[in-house]
Amino acid sequence: MMLPALLEKSWWNKQPTWLASALMPLSWLYGVVIATRRTLYQRGVFRRSHPGVPVIVVGNIVVGGAGKTPVVQAVVRCLQHAGYTPGIVSRGYPVSPKRPRSVSIRSIPSDVGDEPLLHFALGVPVEVCADRVAAAESLLEKHPEVDVIVADDAMQHYALMRDIEIEVVSAERRYGNGRLLPAGPLREPRKRAREATLRLMPAWQTPSGAYKDGNHHVVRRKLGEPYALVEPTRKTPFSTFAQSRPAVVAGIASPRQFYDALTRAGVQGQLFPFPDHHAFRKSDFASLGDRAILMTEKDAPKCQLFADHRMWVVPLTVHLAPETKRKLLRLVRDARAVYAEELPDTHGPETA
């Protein structure tokens, strides 16, 4: 077994493995580095900036997929329905440009990354840059009407001051073995997650009789009706694929979760997993024959140039409970009241 696969298996094993134990000295060193870095930001040694409108950071302390992308979209939809004009800033992984780039109808994944294209489909301005402060400034310069900024995967980007932190953790994986990198999957100590303003847990089922699981608000994951990649307006029910054993192709952090969700929807397919953010090529599909191919919306833009009749896209959304929406909007309202009264201090206290 290759080392990365062995390492990841060790991360999600609840009981300590020999590999996790052997890597603990490196985890202690990593912990010192990240604690020092955050302290330097908090004390003003490293510069922090605030764009002057409420900033919502969506992120996590766990590496890999936790459902941040659909959570960002759910937050944006909630803001739109409440009458706000949100904008999104993103690193644009794996591209991560050093200078801000605006996502447009002509953008492709190799220019702006995977997730920003999905965000742009919401009808909001999206700015991509490794430096989230520069992205936020560029976004507001081009779109002064934006009154709330949502920063995708920026929990550890402390240069960008924030008013609201949303921590996202997967209901299936949670915090793994609870150890810091490289012995475990944590970017920061678990206690860091408790500092978040709002903690969300995407799950396929909501708790019985409640909307919370411990300190987390549960957000319900749902698969949408598949649509043809070559003709997005053409949709079909999952029953279309029930007996045909389609190929399930996924280049995301947890391909098995996508496959399992399709299985629960009645689709008995065959999984073809690829690495997260995989740059798909036509040759990746050459051996799949003429059967239907189901893929995620995150992967679909990278297949657009060579799309054919076999390819179907399955949307994934998450839905906030009414109580969660009320809390989020209350936090945004309070933040707006602050910035309506005074200009931001670029070295002021961090609210998270």
> Above 70 in pLDDT, residue 351?
no
Assess contact for 151 and 33: CB atoms under 8 A. Answer: no
- Cβ proximity of 73 and 221 under 8 Å: no
In the predicted structure, residue 173 carries a pLDDT above the cut 60 = yes
User: Measured on CA atoms in the order 92, 98, 99, 105, is the torsion positive or negative?
Assistant: negative
How far apart (Å, rounded) are the C-alpha atoms in residues 162 and 155?
Answer: 9
Asked, as a colleague might, if the bond just before 226 is cis with ω within 30 of 0, I would say no
Domain boundaries, the chain: 55-220+319-341, 225-314
Does residue 21 sit in helix, strand or coil?
A: helix
Task: List the one residue out of 349, 321, 291, 277 whose CA is nearest residue 42.
Answer: 349
Under the banding of pLDDT at 50, 70 and 90, the label for residue 341 is low
pLDDT in tens, 115-127: 899 999 999 999 9
The fraction of the chain above a pLDDT of 90, given in percent, is 76
Long-range contact set of residues 101-105: C-beta below 8 Å, sequence gap at least 24: 101/127, 101/128, 101/129, 102/126, 102/127, 102/128, 102/138, 102/142, 103/127, 103/128
3-state class (DSSP) for residue 87:
strand
Averaged pLDDT for residues 170-190: 93
Strand, coil or helix: what is 316?
Answer: strand
- pLDDT for 49: 95
On the CB side of 94, CA atoms within 13 Å amount to 9
pLDDT score recorded for residue 206: 77
pLDDT score for 262: 95
**pTM of the model as a whole:** 0.89
In DSSP terms, which residues pair with 260 in a beta bridge? none
**pLDDT tens per residue, range 24-79:** 999 999 999 999 999 999 999 999 999 999 999 999 999 977 889 999 999 999 99
Instruction: Read off the pLDDT of each residue in 267-282 and give the average, rounded to a whole number.
Output: 92
In this predicted structure, what is the pLDDT of residue 349? Answer: 39
pLDDT of residue 347: 37
Which of 62, 351, 78, 2 minimizes the C-alpha distance to 193? 62
DSSP 245: -
Domain at 55-220+319-341: CATH code: 3.40.50
**Across all residues in the chain, what is the average pLDDT?**
91
CA angle 60, 65, 68 (to 5 degrees): 55
